[in-house]
Every structure is written in C-alpha cells, then in structure tokens.
C-alpha cells in the first residue's frame, strides 16, 4: 500500500477502456493526458505506444501485472465485454484484457477491489460500470471535468491520503460501579440583541448604529459547526460616518475551532492597526467588538463620490468571456493592480499573506485605485482547499504538499488580472500565455503575469516584480 502523503513518488496506473466511439476514445486520451500533466500521475495509455508493430496481448499483460492501479473507464461496450460478452471490433485484445481482470478479481477480491478503480468520465453513466466491479456496493469515481478538485477522490484512492485524519484513541475510563454517568451539555448563551448580522437588521457597534445591507451578506458554519461566520456591508445611520465591512463569528459551542475563528478576527484587527496608514489600498480598521459569544471586526467600505454611496467591487468590471478590453481600460486595470500589489507587499512584510483575493473583496475607487476590504485569511493558519475557487493557487488545493504563503497572493493577483483582461480566469490544467489572448499587452506585463501563474510557488516572481512591470507602461500609440 502506498504511504499516504508521499511526495515525489507517482502512482503508476493503467487506463483500461474500449473504443465505443471516436468521441469516447478522445475523452479517454484527454483524461490520461490530464493524469500525467495535471496531476503528476504516471498513467499509461495504449495509443502512446503505437509506434511500431507490437504484440498487444503481451503488452497488455505487462501493464495489468505491473501497474499499481487499473482505471476501468465505464462505457456500454466496456460493461458488455468485461461482464463476459464478445468483443465487436479490434480482434480479441479487449476480451483477453477483460478476462484477466475477472481472473484477478476472483483470485484476490480484497486486493483487486483496492487496485481496480471504476471511473466515469464526463458524459458517462455509472450504469455502464461492469457488474463484476460491484458498483452498487463499492466505490466508483465520477469525473465531471478534468480539474484537480474534480479528481480529488480518485487521487486520494491512488495515494492513500485520507480526507480526514483519524484522531488518536483516548483513555477509556468506565464509570464507578453503581454510579450512573452524567453528561453535562453547556450551551452557549444567546447573543445580545442588536449585534447579530442579519439582512435588514440594525446593529450597534461602538455606539454607531448600522443598517445591514443584503447585497453582500453571507453566513456559513466553521469547519466543525461550532460557530457561525457571517459577513455583510452595513451603512451607518445618522449621524452618518460611511459604510463598513463587517465580519462576525458567533460561538455556538466552545471548541478549539471556534476559539481559532474568534482569535483570527482579533489577530486581523492587530495587523490592520499596525498597517493603518501604510498604503491607501489597505483596509482601514474601524474596530473590533467582543460581546459574550459574539466577535465582530469592522473595516471601512470606501465611498464613491460619483455613485453618491458605497463604492462598487471589482466584480462589476469583469468583461464577458471573449470581450476585448481597449488599451485605455487595460492600462487602468494594470495600474490599479500595481497599487494593490504595493498594499500586499506591505502585508507580506508583517509575515502574513491575504490568500483569499477575489474581485468581490476589492473596491474600485473613483480615481482608479483598488483597495481591499479585509485581509482575507491573513490571520488564519493555511488549510487545504482554502482560497477562492476561480483564483486558488495550486499549493492551496487539497492534496498539495507545498507550503502556502505570499506566493499564493502573487498567483491570485495574476489570475484576477487575467480574468479582468480576458473575461475568463486562467485554467490550472492548461497553461496558456496571456499574450495570446491580449495581443496589446506590453511585453513586460505579459512576461511577469505568465511567470506569476507558475504551478511551483518558488518559480513565481516577487510582488515587487509585479509592481515594477505593471506600474511602468509604455504610452498608448496615437
């Protein structure tokens, strides 16, 4: 069995399939290629070895004997042949391969159950998994798209890396004879009225009454459901001192995870206070408020003079997919991002990194500058799968062994910039030079953005390199 979490040792897999149609063959080939290039899995596919006249039965026997895993790709023809039907085309090779799989299953059911993994590709159906692979009582792996997140369950099966670590066994102490065990449940006290963030509610923080806006309100539990995390924009009621961005943790049960969520808000307030005034693109602290089981962090939400109210987020500036961005707009985006990079560099100097950059958390000011509304995950320890879906750095994804830090911000800045210029975020699986989609992009900017999207954090440039390349741009031709 593979050692879970082993770095640098790629599992060797054989992709077993039938040629139902040219489309199915192409899908299998693309999946095998993604396993190698996108996941680093040592996958073997027969079409890559059709370079000479070959004894395909001998080659198939070698693959089935030496591969650590066999990926059985579900399809109507594969089900028919694997369950003992006659092969319609291609001689007898697939029948022989299916017979060997059945023989291995009968000889050692536990080992074959671990080793032969049924896979359903995009457009496929679980009903096409062979009956001999027992899909109704055993796991199968549905791959809706060729991305790392979509193949996480399969990758865990190939590496033996559990989704949740089994906790150590504590000391069992039976109750004393004749004494009934008593279970005491301590419930968290109800939060004080006028403090909980709810759409349309008026909250009182530090003597300032604020009306919670429903446009940016959200609520979700923390990882062990011991606390509820909320965030919302709120407008101050008269006397008006502008809008604020509020992030709140309500502790429901006193667990370590709940304590960590509260501590992260307090720590972020400390970082914000230390950075206050360092750069206009950094969020301005309003205050940290602790009231019983409720903790709330408030930062300024910038006001737009042109709108006569709260400024808009950068999400409103994302063009439609394929929409061309004119040179003037391109320069405005690049200069705004350069200023944002300066704020992030100041954050990095404190030893922290944002790690959750997304247009929805960035405000565009009237003069084109961009400013953060909060510090994201800067006060929290990195966790697998953190960060925004569209801009998550490779090292933030589940299954990665690389450390997450300031380089994740470099990646996310470049990913957002690509989205703002092209209408489409970059694909982690298929690297495409941004110059190919934005021909007018200056050479220096294109080079630094491509480098910032490198899969390896160590290969990405420093934030200072992005500042230099994006803030110094050639004049627009007349």
Same domain, 240 and 343: no
What is the rounded average pLDDT of the residues 16-32? 93
Domain edge (last residue) among 240, 274, 301 = 301
Q: Is residue 5 part of a domain?
A: no
Q: What percent of the chain has pLDDT over 70?
A: 89
Q: Which two tokens stand for residue 45?
A: 């596919």
- What integer pLDDT is reported at residue 478 of this predicted model? 47
**CATH number of the domain residue 248 falls in:** 3.30.200.20
- What integer pLDDT is reported at residue 176 of this predicted model? 58
Q: What percent of the chain has pLDDT over 90?
A: 56
CA 140 vs. chain centroid, Å, equals 23
Q: Is residue 176 part of a domain?
A: no
Residue pLDDT, tens place only, 344-396: 999 999 999 999 999 999 999 999 999 999 999 999 999 988 999 899 999 99
Same domain, 384 and 242: no
Same domain, 351 and 258: no
Q: Is residue 165 part of a domain?
A: no
Residue 183: pLDDT over 50: no
- What integer pLDDT is reported at residue 406 of this predicted model? 96
Closest CA to 18 of 89, 117, 83, 120: 89
Domain edge (last residue) among 136, 159, 182 = 159
| Residue 395 burial (10 A CB sphere; 0-12, 13-18, 19+) | buried
The count of structural domains within the chain is 3
Q: Which domain holds residue 344?
A: 309-478
**CATH number of the domain residue 374 falls in:** 1.10.510.10
- What integer pLDDT is reported at residue 6 of this predicted model? 43
Q: Is residue 202 part of a domain?
A: yes
Note whether 408 and 426 are within 8 A (CB): no
Q: Using 50, 70 and 90 to split pLDDT, how confident is the model at 189? A: low
Domain edge (last residue) among 139, 159, 179 = 159
Same domain, 330 and 444: yes
Same domain, 155 and 228: no
**CATH number of the domain residue 76 falls in:** 3.40.50.10140
Q: Tell which wins on pLDDT, 84 or 386.
A: 386
Residue 178: pLDDT over 60: no
Model confidence, pTM: 0.61
Residue 108: pLDDT over 70: yes
Q: Is residue 183 part of a domain?
A: no
Q: Is residue 166 part of a domain?
A: no
Q: What angle do CA 228, 229, 235 make, to 5 degrees?
A: 125
Same domain, 199 and 131: no
Residue 5: pLDDT over 60: no
Same domain, 234 and 101: no
| Residue 78 burial (10 A CB sphere; 0-12, 13-18, 19+) | buried
Residue pLDDT, tens place only, 125-154: 999 999 888 766 788 999 999 998 889 899
């Amino acid at each position: 069995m593979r050692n879970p979490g082993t770095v640098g040792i790629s599992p060797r897999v054989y992709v077993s399939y039938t040629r139902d149609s040219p489309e199915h063959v192409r899908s299998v080939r693309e999946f095998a290629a993604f396993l190698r290039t996108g996941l680093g899995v040592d996958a073997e596919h027969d079409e890559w070895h059709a370079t000479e006249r070959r004894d395909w039965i001998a080659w198939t026997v070698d693959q089935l004997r030496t591969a650590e895993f066999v990926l059985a790709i579900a399809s109507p023809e594969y089900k028919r042949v694997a369950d003992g039907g006659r092969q319609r085309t291609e001689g007898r090779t697939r029948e022989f391969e299916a017979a060997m799989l059945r023989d291995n299953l009968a000889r050692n059911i536990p080992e074959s159950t671990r080793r032969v993994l049924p896979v359903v590709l995009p457009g496929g159906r679980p009903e096409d998994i062979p009956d001999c692979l027992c899909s109704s009582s055993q796991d199968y792996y549905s791959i809706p798209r060729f991305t790392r997140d979509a193949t996480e369950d399969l990758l865990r099966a190939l590496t033996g890396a559990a989704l949740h670590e089994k906790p150590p066994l504590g000391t069992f102490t039976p109750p004393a004879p004749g004494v009934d065990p008593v279970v005491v449940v301590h419930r968290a006290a109800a939060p004080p009225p006028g403090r909980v963030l709810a759409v349309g509610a008026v909250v009182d923080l530090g003597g300032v009454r604020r009306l919670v806006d429903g446009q940016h309100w959200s609520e979700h539990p923390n990882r062990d459901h011991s606390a509820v995390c909320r965030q919302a924009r709120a407008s101050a009621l008269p006397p008006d001192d502008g809008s604020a961005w509020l992030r709140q943790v309500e502790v429901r049960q006193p667990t370590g995870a709940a304590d960590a969520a509260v501590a992260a808000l307090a720590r972020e307030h400390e970082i914000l206070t230390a950075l206050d005034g360092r750069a206009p693109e950094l969020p301005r602290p309003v205050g940290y408020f602790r009231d019983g089981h409720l903790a709330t962090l408030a930062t300024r939400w910038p006001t737009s003079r042109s709108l006569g109210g709260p400024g808009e987020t950068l999400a409103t500036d994302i063009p439609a997919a394929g929409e061309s961005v004119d040179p003037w707009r391109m320069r405005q985006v690049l200069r705004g991002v350069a200023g944002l990079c300066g704020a992030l560099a100041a954050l990095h100097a404190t030893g922290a990194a944002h790690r959750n950059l997304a247009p929805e958390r960035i405000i565009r000011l009237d003069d084109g500058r961009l400013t953060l509304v909060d510090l994201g995950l800067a006060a929290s320890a990195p966790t697998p799968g953190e960060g925004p879906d569209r801009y998550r750095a490779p090292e933030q994804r589940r299954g990665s062994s690389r450390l997450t830090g300031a380089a994740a911000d470099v990646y996310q800045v470049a990913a957002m910039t690509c989205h703002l210029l092209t209408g489409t975020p970059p694909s982690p699986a298929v690297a495409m030079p941004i110059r190919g989609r934005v021909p007018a992009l200056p050479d220096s900017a294109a080079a630094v953005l491509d480098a910032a999207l490198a899969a390896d954090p160590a290969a990405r440039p420093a934030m200072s390199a992005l500042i230099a390349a994006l803030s110094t741009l050639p004049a627009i031709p007349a």
